[in-house]
């Protein structure tokens, strides 16, 4: 029984060592592929179980690493450029919207200043206009002027006639 146990453990230990071995592949002069756990000149590593020290072909690995770093850097730069482009587009959209709001506020102000009488939007369905009192109209004009200042960043220029 002890002998059976020893033989079994040796077989298991050997198979574990084989399972973890490196596997190399090479093609001979006749075009046949061969596989082995030992390196042969011209062979390529198919499977490795442990890290290897850099050999004569290590320049290829470091070149690939360097290329992947360059690619990652390029992707970061591209993402950053895209982010900057998006920020610029948002700034332009905000500026356009502000310009439209400013223009509309100036039009409302000009209409309020030039109108003799200002009417309130009617809530009645009959369509009759309800005009503001002089005090309400002055308050409305002041509010519209403040709207121009808020939308345009400066007060509207006073018009001399």
Instruction: Give domain limits for the chain.
Output: 20-51, 74-152
3-state secondary structure the chain: CHHHHHHHHHHHHHHHHHHCCCEEEEECCCCCEEEECCCCCCCEEEECCCCCCCCCCHHHHHHHHHHHHHHHHHHHHHHHHHHHHHHHHHHHHHHHHHHHHHHHHHHHHHHHHHCCCCEECCCCCCCCCEECCHHHHHHHHHHHHHHHHHHHCCCCCCCCC
What pTM value is reported for the model? 0.46
Q: What is the pLDDT of residue 160?
A: 46
- The 10s digit of each residue's pLDDT in 38-89 is 888 888 888 776 655 555 555 555 677 888 888 888 888 888 888 899 999 9
Q: What is the pLDDT of residue 50?
A: 64
């Amino acid at each position: 029984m002890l002998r059976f146990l020893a033989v079994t453990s040796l077989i298991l230990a050997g198979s574990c060592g084989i399972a973890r071995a490196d596997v190399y592949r090479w093609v001979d002069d006749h075009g046949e592929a061969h596989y082995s756990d030992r390196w042969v000149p011209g062979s390529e590593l198919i499977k490795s179980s442990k890290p290897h020290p850099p050999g004569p072909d290590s320049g290829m690995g470091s070149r690939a690493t360097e290329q992947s770093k360059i690619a990652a850097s390029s992707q970061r730069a591209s993402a950053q450029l895209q982010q900057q482009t998006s920020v610029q587009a948002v700034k332009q959209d905000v500026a356009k919207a502000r310009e439209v709001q400013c223009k509309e506020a100036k039009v409302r102000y000009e209409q309020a200043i030039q109108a003799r009488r200002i009417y309130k939007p009617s809530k009645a369905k009959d369509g009759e206009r309800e005009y503001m009192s002089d005090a309400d109209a002055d308050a409305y004009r002041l509010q519209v002027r403040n709207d121009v200042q808020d939308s345009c960043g400066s007060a509207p220029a006073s018009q001399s006639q």
